[in-house]
Amino acid sequence: MSFLENLVTQFPDKIKILPHARGEHVLEVERHILPTVCAYLKNEHHPRFNFLMDLAGVDYSAFGAPTQVAAYTGANDPVSKPTAQDFSLNTHRERFAVVYNLFAWPEKLRLRLQVPVPELNPETPTVSHLWSGANWFEREVWDMFGIRFKGHPDLRRILLYDEFKGHPLRKDYPITRRHPLVDNQKAEAPFQAQNHHAAPFRIKIPEPGKQTQNMLLNIGPSHPAMHGVIHVFTELDGEKIQKADIGIGYLHRAFEKDAENVTWTQVFPYTDRLNYVSPLLNNVGYAMAVEKVMGLQTTERCQYIRVLMSEISRITDHLTCIAASTMEVGAMTAFLYFVKVRDMFYELIEEITGARLTVSYVRIGGVKADLTPEFPAHLQKVLVELRIAMKEMHALVTRNRIFVDRMKGLGVTDKETAIDYGFTGPFLRSTGIDYDVRKAEPYLVYDQLDFDIPYGQYGDNYDRYLVRMEEMEQSVRLIEQCMQKLQKMPGAPLNVDYEGKEIPASKMADLGKYGYTKGLLQIHALTDPTLSGGNAWLHDNIFPTDAKGVVLPAKEKTYGSIEGLMNHFMLIMEGYGIQPPPGDAYHAVEGANGELGFYVISDGKGQPYRVRVRPPCFALMSGFHKVIEGDMIADLIATFGTVNMIAGELDR
């Protein structure tokens, strides 16, 4: 008897198991007993679901509705519209649903609760008393969907501003409906208005006539030491932070709304800009979530390349974080050393992907291009540079008195708080919990590679710094193992034309465009495997050959045969293209800041029905006030640096 069936017997008639095509554990829970179920799951159930990883809303009102362009199914017969009964989504057919992704550590068990919420009275009980991290997640659902949470201590907008009317992630909200910009004076309201705590912030101003009063201080949204836009509102007693509140949403770019309005492939550029310090990790996370919905398996070579690029991305992220956070405490030299190496990594990434930063490298079912022949040599050089820079960094700051004094014992978080708020990644590991998605639920080929998970002890700034430094070492280990494996696999050949001369791939593609395709495929001429062209043989190494409805054909096939051309055309045309079967999936990868989860819902169309990101920063910042309360105001800057908040991911 599975634990799901046990649960159903525990709460008969109130919850039911929803079958899931990809083997995820999903339960539908009636909203009235949700707090009881959650309390049971968190405190009494074995294993205890101590993490609330994600909480998201879904608006099902347009589910399965016909789009303007008829969907392409490969035949001329009319498309059968998926109904909600087809799969495990929203069987009650209520308009809204709130989805809770729970995680049990250390048992590594995931459970998803789906709570239908009717349109007329969109209200559901809060779970913020069980998991503190739910506070912000619920505020976001209120902001985006207008679902109220009964009993929530502080239900107000989080990503948008108070003057905003409507709830943009509802399906009937047009994506471009803007509201007038707020009055300039309102931005300074927290300082001027006496009753400001009524609206934007919940800190009370002391009564007049008292002898002492705490000072209120705004830090941000535009502040030199704040990497990314964030508003920290502090109440100070002298220099000590008594209370803090965090205001976010200054970089809200409507990722989730945008994703619903483009095709599945077009979401990739948007994912680049979530955590823009490690875009490749976001690419991989999204692609794997979609592949999970489709039940698609990528090739082995592709998986190694993905791991390789992910780890390179992780290194650039940690380099940036450490560079910036050391700069904040005065180590400008350290910043310069690390940024120099980071630039080398950017050039390396550019060699493979064509872009330094916003790469859009991963595709559903594969990656955009194979490694270049020169790549291993270049990588070796850069890794040597990285090792030198890390050695210099250790020599400069790791035992530097000034640095250590600003880092040790500050921004301390204990394990319970970290779990309560859903912290993940280096932050969680610094407290001594070695949870890492790469080990806990190995995806891609992480289970075949040898690496360690560094973790700290005290949960302070210094531990976070050390964890990040060590993680870079481990990433280098992973990269080297991947390179060894990749070099044993079929590698990148040279381009040759009919006469055996080397030609650039772009020229070959041009030949194809002009119709000089005779013999192009027969002679097994190979184009450059990288950016400028396709390569049928190598293409098959990085894309599964049987997934015709997903993967763009190699360029030779597109230009050289009518089948290839049609295949390409159908995938590119709007309303055709990739159409995952109706269903949903949650897939998490280990982002640079923690668990980066993508919850994807498809209704069988060419556009995603819903793409929800579980941003690690969001959970981190929701508990940030706990981390800084009690510290000095100057330590806030040092602590903030080691949290590594990335606004693009935080506000989406």
Partner 1 sequence: MAIRNLLGGDNFITSRLDDVIGWARKYSIFVYPFVTACCGMEYMSVAGPQYDLDRFGAALPRFTPRQADLLFVVGTISQKMAPILRRIYDQMCEPKWVIAFGVCTCTGGFYNNYATVQGIDTIIPVDVYIPGCPPRPETVLQGLMLLQEKIQKQKQEY
Q: Residues in the site for partner 1, rule: CB under 8 A? A: 160-161, 164, 168, 173-179, 181-184, 186-188, 221-224, 227-229, 249-254, 257-258, 269-270, 272-273, 276-277, 320, 323-324, 335-336, 339-340, 342-343, 346, 356-358, 647-648, 651
CB 581 within 8 A of CB 604: yes
Q: Which residue has the tokens 């009690």?
A: 630
Closest CA relative to residue 315, chosen from 333, 334, 338: 338
Report how far residue 128's alpha carbon sits from residue 139's, in angstroms, rounded to the nearest whole number. 10
Question: How would you classify the pairing of strands 51-59 and 123-125?
Answer: unpaired
List the structure tokens of 615. Answer: 């941003």
List the structure tokens of 26. Answer: 């999903």
CB of 154 to partner 1, least distance (A): 19
Give 110 or 231: the residue with its C-beta nearer to partner 1.
231
Report how far residue 444's alpha carbon sits from residue 140's, in angstroms, rounded to the nearest whole number. 31
Give 178 or 210: the residue with its C-beta nearer to partner 1.
178
CB of 290 to partner 1, least distance (A): 20
Q: Helix, strand, or coil here: 250?
A: coil
Give 339 or 496: the residue with its C-beta nearer to partner 1.
339
Give 319 or 503: the residue with its C-beta nearer to partner 1.
319
CB of 363 to partner 1, least distance (A): 18
CB of 214 to partner 1, least distance (A): 25
Give 271 or 430: the residue with its C-beta nearer to partner 1.
271
Q: Helix, strand, or coil here: 527?
A: coil
Give 45 or 252: the residue with its C-beta nearer to partner 1.
252
Give 328 or 584: the residue with its C-beta nearer to partner 1.
328
CB of 258 to partner 1, least distance (A): 6
CB of 175 to partner 1, least distance (A): 5
CB of 65 to partner 1, least distance (A): 21
Q: How is 171-204 classified by DSSP, letter by letter?
A: TTS-TT---PPPPGGGGGHHHH-TTGGGTT--PP
What is the enclosing helix (H) or strand (E) of 3?
Answer: helix 3-10
What is the enclosing helix (H) or strand (E) of 141?
Answer: helix 134-145
CB 586 within 8 A of CB 611: no
Residue 77 neighbours by CB under 8 Å, 6+ apart: none
CB 104 within 8 A of CB 433: no
Give 40 or 346: the residue with its C-beta nearer to partner 1.
346
Give 11 or 250: the residue with its C-beta nearer to partner 1.
250
Closest CA relative to residue 539, chosen from 151, 100, 548, 172: 548
Report how far residue 111's alpha carbon sits from residue 50's, in angstroms, rounded to the nearest whole number. 11
CB 576 within 8 A of CB 550: no
Q: Helix, strand, or coil here: 364?
A: coil
Tell me, what amino acid is at 511?
L
CB of 68 to partner 1, least distance (A): 19
CB of 266 to partner 1, least distance (A): 9
CB of 37 to partner 1, least distance (A): 34
Sheet of strand 231-237: strand arrangement: 215-219, 231-237, 240-247
Give 11 or 164: the residue with its C-beta nearer to partner 1.
164
Q: Can you name the residues that pair with 422 across neighbouring β-strands?
A: none
CB of 493 to partner 1, least distance (A): 30
CB of 20 to partner 1, least distance (A): 32
CB of 186 to partner 1, least distance (A): 7
Give 161 or 537: the residue with its C-beta nearer to partner 1.
161
CB of 173 to partner 1, least distance (A): 8
Give 160 or 393: the residue with its C-beta nearer to partner 1.
160
Report how far residue 198's alpha carbon sits from residue 204's, in angstroms, rounded to the nearest whole number. 9
Give 216 or 627: the residue with its C-beta nearer to partner 1.
216
Residue 391: CB atoms within 10 A of its CB come to 10
Give 277 or 428: the residue with its C-beta nearer to partner 1.
277
Q: Can you name the residues that pair with 216 across neighbouring β-strands?
A: 235
List the structure tokens of 383. Answer: 């890794």
CB 634 within 8 A of CB 414: no
Sheet of strand 583-590: strand arrangement: 583-590, 595-602, 610-614
Q: How is 314-358 classified by DSSP, letter by letter?
A: HHHHHHHHHHHHHHHTT-HHHHHHHHHHHHHHHHHHHHHHS-SS-
CB of 368 to partner 1, least distance (A): 17
CB 628 within 8 A of CB 241: yes
Give 160 or 526: the residue with its C-beta nearer to partner 1.
160
List the structure tokens of 71. Answer: 């969907």
Give the C-alpha distances (Å, rounded to integers) separating 532 from 341, 390, 429.
27, 35, 41
Question: Angle at CA 427, nearest 5°, toward 102 and 433?
Answer: 65
Give 35 or 354: the residue with its C-beta nearer to partner 1.
354
